[in-house]
Structure 1
Amino acid sequence: MGKPTRWVTETKPGHSQWYIDRFRRLAAEGADLAGEARLLDAMVPPGARILDAGCGTGRVAGALAARGHTVVGVDADPALIEAAGTDHPGPRWLVADLAELDLAAQGEPEPFDAAVVAGNVMAFVAPGTEGAVLSRIAAHVRPDGLVVVGFGTDRGYPLTDFDGDAVAAGLRLEHRFATWDLRPWRDDADFAVSVLRRPPNQEPTAPR
């Protein structure tokens, strides 16, 4: 693992268990936790191979697997990965630092049709690693594949910085929305869902 993430340095002890308990409670109450998965499902072909980068407790990856996709969920927090495996047995769950992501070394050499980065993941990675995170995710997506990223615009990672990091990672912005249910983007929106694509003529980058 590289530098400690903000998930570690900017939260209190016990935060991971609180987060696990929160989403288990929401699921038990019947809350709609599959909005991101519905959007991804509409963007990819049936039976797509999808990377859930920063998967947390697995709600998005689990919903995508239930829709027939092959999903690999990755998170730096072992407690969240353990909970994901318990609550959502369909996907494959791996502990990994997104800034150093090398899934071939963990038995997943095939590129993905799409990657989803939900739940403010980009606001919780280690400071200064945002560009590396996007580059490593992009390297695992096939040419013409999608990377769909959602995070709060007031969480310390300016959208202008994100756009620059996305370009440096070889990704092109195709669409931007204010919510996962596709409400129109406005410059004053406090959340952004960015649909990025690897150019179709771009060769896959070997993991470093």
Structure 2
Amino acid sequence: MTASETDFVSATRTAYDTVAVSYADLLKDALAASPWERAMLDTFSELVGAGARVGDLGCGPGRVTGYLAGRGLDAFGIDLSPGMVEVAREAYPGLEFEVGSMAALPLADASLAGALAWYSLIHTPPGQLSVLIMELARVLEPGGRLLTGFQVGAERRHIANGYGHDISLDAYRLDPDFIAGLLTEAGLTVEARLVRAPEPPHEKTPQAYLLARKES
């Protein structure tokens, strides 16, 4: 942990390093079972356009990065966890993956046509999420799109065991109106919102997806 790094960032990295291999194995076919998620990702892909440079920010093991690449996008991934990045590179050797923080992305201003924050906002305390969303907006070009997904709610959960491992990790369920407000404050216009029922047995709460466009 660096001197300026907060405890929740260090805890998130450690937890995902621990579960990287089993997480990737368990979720590798999850998109095939979720037409709602595919619909949002497909819409995002169509709007940014074939060949567009798109960052999967908080990419985990790269499964969604690979899906976007399969839709014709120039997709790459960044993740806080070196363990996740290692798994992603092994699974998708033709794609780019880099270790990095969403709070300080190693990307130039206005360098992306699209940014994906797919369940990667959920480990940051809600009071600090504006920093991440402003950073996501910074790297988008005018007219670029951001798609984010998260669990719906208004509480913190502490996870002591995940994917077959003992870990210590906080996760936050989020209010779609709250996230939409942060997007607006960052200069983004919310174009679409989907809130769907949970899909058992793995989900217990509704899931939300917001698609937003950076104003030019």
> Which band: TM-score by shorter chain?
0.7 to 0.9
Gaps of 5+ in 1: 180-188, 202-208
Please show how residues 89-128 of structure 1 align to structure 2 within 5 Å: 89-104=93-108, 111-118=111-118, 120-125=119-124, 128=127
Aligned residue number for residue 186 of structure 1: none
TM-score by length of 1: 0.75
Could you report, residue by residue, the CA deviation over 1:95-130 in whole angstroms, capped at 9, with x for unpaired residues?
1110122323xxxx7711111111x21111355331
Query: Who is 2:164 aligned against?
Result: none
Distance 2:125 2:72 in 1: 33
SS at match of 1:94: strand
Root-mean-square deviation (CA, aligned residues, Å) is 3.0
What's the secondary structure of 2:191's corresponding residue?
strand
The offset of 1:56, in angstroms, is 0.6
More strand by share: 2
1:45-102 deviation line (CA, Å, top 9, x unaligned): 1111111111011001112123332112111111111111111123211111101223
**Residue of structure 2 in register with 1:198 after alignment:** 214
| Larger deviation, residues 28-37 vs 76-85 | 28-37
Contact 2:191 2:211 in 1 (8 A): yes
> For 1:163, which of 180, 196, 204 is the aligned residue?
180
Q: Secondary structure at the match of 2:28?
A: helix
Please tell me whether the aligned partners of residues 17 and 84 of structure 2 are also in contact (alpha carbons under 8 angstroms): yes
Count of equivalent residues: 186
Q: Within 5 A, what are the aligned runs for 1:2-21?
A: 3-4=5-6, 6=8, 8-9=10-11, 15-21=16-22
- Quote the Cα distance in structure 1 between the aligned partners of 2:30 and 2:194: 28
Rounded Cα–Cα distance in structure 2 between residues aligned with 1:192 and 1:28: 20
| Structure 2 CA distance for partners of 1:176 and 1:99, relative to 1, 3 Å | same
In the TM superposition, 1:34-45 aligns within 5 A as: 35=38, 37-45=41-49
Give the TM-score taking structure 2 as reference length. Answer: 0.73
Describe how 1:119-198 pairs up with structure 2 within 5 A.
120-125=119-124, 128-154=127-153, 155-179=172-196, 190-198=206-214
